[in-house]
Amino acid sequence: MCYACRSSQRLLGLKGTFWIASLCILISRIAQVVDTHYEAVIIVGRILIGLGVGQFTATSLLYIGQIAPTKIRGPALMSYQFLQSRTQRMASGLSQGTEKGNSSLALGDCQIT
C-alpha cells in the first residue's frame, strides 16, 4: 500500500491522491450498500475502503506539513495524530462491544448467511 500511495503522490500530487482516496471510499460505500448477500462484493468494498483510508492517512500528514504556517505546523500535526489515535480507539471499543451481538448491525466478523 505504501508503494501505491507513493506512486500516486508522485504522479498526481497530494490533491490528486486525495481525489483517488475519495473515489476509493465512495466506490466502497456504494458496493457495500448495494450488496445483496455476495461475500465478494463486501470483500472488494473493504479492500477499497482500506486503500482509501490508507491513502488519506499517508497523505494528510504531508499535506498539513506543506500548507501549515511554521508557527502552527507542530501543533497541527500533533492534533492530527491525537485525533487519529482517538478514533481508532473508539472504533476498537465499538467493534469489541458489538462482537457478540446477534444483530445484523454487529461489527464483529463478517458472516454471510
pLDDT at 113 over 50: no
CA–CA separation, 24 vs 54, rounded Å? 10
pLDDT at 79 over 60: yes
Secondary structure of residue 26 in the 3-state scheme: helix
Alpha carbon separation from 16 to 72, 81, 105 (Å, rounded): 25, 22, 34
> In the block, which residue shows the cell 448495494?
34
pLDDT of residue 39: 81
For the residues 67-82, what does the mean pLDDT come to? 90
**Amino acid residing at 64:** I
pLDDT of residue 86: 92
Rounded to 5°, the CA angle 73-80-93 comes to 165
Q: Which helix (H) or strand (E) holds 52?
A: helix 39-67
CA–CA separation, 86 vs 33, rounded Å? 27
pTM here? 0.67
Other residues' Cβ atoms within 10 Å of the Cβ of residue 30:
12
Under 8 Å between Cβ of 95 and 108: yes
- Tell which wins on pLDDT, 85 or 109: 85
